[in-house]
Amino acid sequence: MNALQIKTFLWKNGLTITGMAKEIAPAIGWTFDTTRNGLTQLFYHGKYNADLAKLVRDKYGIKVDRPERPQTVSEAVRRAA
């Protein structure tokens, strides 16, 4: 999924990055703030973390596209549209 598809998926399923971070922080062994930041970076800025991406795919069914390079949110949305 690209950034726009992820945003739509979260909205349709009533999920938030904060809620997801609270649930998966203990599983990945990170603090809540680190997990929330990691999810934001993974979903919207293209900073790929394989462990976090696998956990999100297994728990929520969100398969994150791995970008060629990190990008800004506006770039991601522009490319997705």
Instruction: Report pLDDT digits (tens) over 38-80.
Output: 999 998 887 888 899 999 999 999 998 877 766 666 776 776 6
Predicted local distance difference test score (pLDDT) of residue 76: 66
Over the stretch 20-39, which tens digit does the pLDDT of each residue have?
999 999 989 999 999 999 99
For the chain, what is the radius of gyration of the CA atoms?
12
pLDDT of residue 74: 74
pLDDT of residue 79: 67
Q: Do 39 and 60 form a contact (C-beta atoms < 8 A)?
A: no
- Overall domain count for the chain: 1
Q: Provide the residue range defining the domain that includes 76.
A: 3-80
Quote the strand ranges of 1-81, DSSP E.
Answer: none
Please state the pTM of the whole predicted model. 0.79
